[in-house]
Each structure stands twice: as C-alpha cells, then as structure tokens.
Structure 1
Amino acid sequence: MKLIVGLGNPGTQYMTTRHNIGFEAVDTLAELKGIAMQKNKFKSIIGEGTIGGEKVILMKPQTYMNLSGEALRACMDWHKLTSEDILVIYDDVSLEVGQLRIRKSGSAGGHNGIKSIISHLGGQEFLRIKVGVGEKPAGWDLANYVLGRLSEEEMKVLGPKLKDICDAIEMILIKGPDQAMNTYNLKMKR
C-alpha cells in the first residue's frame, strides 16, 4: 500500500493559492482514478483505491501546512507503513512555475510542511514531487507569496501540469521512481 499525500491548507480562503498545489494534485488524481475523497480520518480527508495495480491511500491533511507531519504519521502508524511507502506532493518556490522535480530524499528547503514531515518521520528519506510555483518577487514576504492566489497566467501553466503529476505518480507506482525521475525531471516546464 502506498500513501500519496498532497500538502495544503484547509478552508476556502486557501483554495487556488500556491501553497495548495498538493491538494489540487490529489483532487485531480482522485477524479481521474475514480477515488472518492470523503473519509475524515487521521486529521485528513482521505480516499482509498487502486492505481497501477497498487493499493493507495490519497490524503489531504487538514492540520494546516505546518503540522502536516502529525496527520501523515497517524496514518502511517495505523497502516504500518514505512517512509518507503509514502509520496508527498508540494509547492516549491525554487522551481519555475509548472516545473516538476521528483526526489527520493532531501532537506525541507524552508518548506514548513516538509519540515513537519521530516520531524515526524525522523528522517528525510521519502519520495516527493515538488511543483514549481515560481520565485517570490523581490520585497515580498514568503508567507504572503505562497498564500497568495495563483494568477490567471500561472493557472494556465499549472492546470495541465496536474495531469502530468498524475501520470508521474502512476509511472512511479508501475515502473518505479527512477523511471519517473528520468522522464519528468528532464521535461521542460511547458
């Protein structure tokens, strides 16, 4: 069983913000694969199904970004999952809008949701898909930038990338992360 976690913040005020791209990706994946996201367990909205022959749990933690690790850890403990069984999708300000980067490990890079997950897992060794939301403009506060709404232009770029993220997840489940990294880390942003 694999646990696929999209990071974001709950509430309508955070919809279509840069920080909620993980939620958007999980919602798109659920819709494409016919997985109902309706259960409220582990401080999260979850759905269970099968993708590429693999049983999966899709998760959107409702703890707010900075406490994402609490929800993830509770689900992992209940299902007896290890860090090898999880995949986390989140926004990254160091990548151009729409650029995808799949990694098997790494630091939090200043992302508070990832900091929380690393803290609750006790390590950095977990699969992740970073989704570029662009660098913050000079003089902007980082929190205001990531909690800001996506522009129309950014949405035009990111909308089609949600399907790419779903395809990358399916490739990871069927062919492994190395194949997905070779395919998606090399793609141009558009």
Structure 2
Amino acid sequence: MDTWLVIGLGNPGTTYAGNRHNVGAMVVDELVRRSGANLRAHKSRARAAEIRLGTLPGGVPGPKAVVAVPSTYMNESGGPVAGLMQFFKVPAERLIVVHDELDIDFAQLRLKRGGGEGGHNGLRSITRSTGTKDYLRVRVGIGRPPGRMDPAAYVLKDFSSSERPELDFLLPDAADAVEQLVHVGLTAAQNVIHAR
C-alpha cells in the first residue's frame, strides 16, 4: 500500500505553539491524537509518526501515512520535508502540506494541488527543496490582519479569545479534509470540504 506524507507547518517551541502560523502543526497533532500514536524525533529534522489515516468502509484502516512537523523554523521547512520524502520513498503527488492561509477567511478550508506560495515562507522552502510546486495543500484560513497590522506580525500572534473556541471545530474539520484527500482524491474532497 502506498504511503502518504502529511506535513503540518509551524515554528518549533512553546513560544510559537498557539500562533496562527502553527495551525498546520495543530492539525497534525489532531491526526496523531486520533490514531493514538506519538510524534517522535526523526533524523530528517522533524517529529514524525507512522499512522493509518481514518477508516474505510467496513471498518478497514485507512491508507498508511507518515505525519510530521518539521523541527526547524518555518522558512527552513523544505529540508526536513525533502528528507522525509526520500526516507519513506514518498513521491510529490502523495505529499500533503497543511498550512495557514491569510487569503482565506478564518475557519474556512480550501484544498488544492500546486500553485503559488502567496508569500508563505514554509511553502516557498518546500518548493525550493523538493523542486516542485505540484503537491497537495490543505489551506487553513486565518483571515487578514486587522487595520494596518503587518501580516508577518499577525501570523506570529496567538489566536484571539474569540477565535480559540472555533479551533475545537476547525482542527477536526481540517484533519477530516486530510483524510478525505487520501480516501477519495482531490476533486471529490473539494466537493465535500468546500461546500461546508
């Protein structure tokens, strides 16, 4: 059975753990929690776990996946991602990157393959290190910063007190989106997730 690689982007350490920029890592934590596994240090400079993604009809365990969070800062995510792809022999078409997206309203989800990086340093690093933009993305909306706040400052702030309760729904929904991608493919998953 072919293995998938699911990367949740974020910055390492407790200082950044609740930041909007770390929502991708939070989604991977949700997938790991569902599976009962634990992320462990991997030589590719990431924390990773081998899991089954969801359950197929008849209670059959879902496809094999490696879920991981780079241990590097966001702008150096590409090295660990390329290392994991090489180690687990995962091609770009089975790479899913979960990341925060300024251009999507908070708590909305969008799925796509390829495209630009929209100024996202984590995506830019992954594209540079893997040599392709043609990987799947689960884009988790965090909305635009208020007023004239610098987007770079906004993404490094924790979710607001009004946003935090929504995370209880957003993170499971984003984890569902990852499972949908591997179970039914991009187009069918988009039809389900984008309709919400």
Q: CA deviation at 1:38?
A: 2.0
Q: CA deviation at 1:169?
A: 1.4
* 2:45 aligns with one of 43, 46, 50: 43
* 2:121 aligns with one of 112, 120, 140: 112
1: CA distance between counterparts of 2:187 and 2:169?
23
| Percent of residue pairs bearing the same amino acid type | 36
2: CA distance between counterparts of 1:129 and 1:9?
18
2: CA distance between counterparts of 1:138 and 1:79?
44
TM-score for the superposition, normalised by structure 2: 0.92
Q: CA deviation at 1:67?
A: 0.6
CA RMSD across the alignment:
1.1
Corresponding residue number in structure 2 for 1:16: 18
Q: CA deviation at 1:80?
A: 2.1
Asked if residue 186 in structure 1 is aligned to residue 188 in structure 2, the reply is no
Asked if residue 141 in structure 1 is aligned to residue 143 in structure 2, the reply is no
Matches within 5 A, 1:73-152: 73-152=82-161
Does the 8 Å contact 1:97/1:157 carry over to 2? no
Matches within 5 A, 1:135-174: 135-174=144-183
Gaps of 5+ in 2: 55-61
What is the letter of the counterpart of residue 78 of structure 1?
F
What is the letter of the counterpart of residue 133 of structure 1?
I
2: CA distance between counterparts of 1:11 and 1:79?
25
2: CA distance between counterparts of 1:41 and 1:147?
27
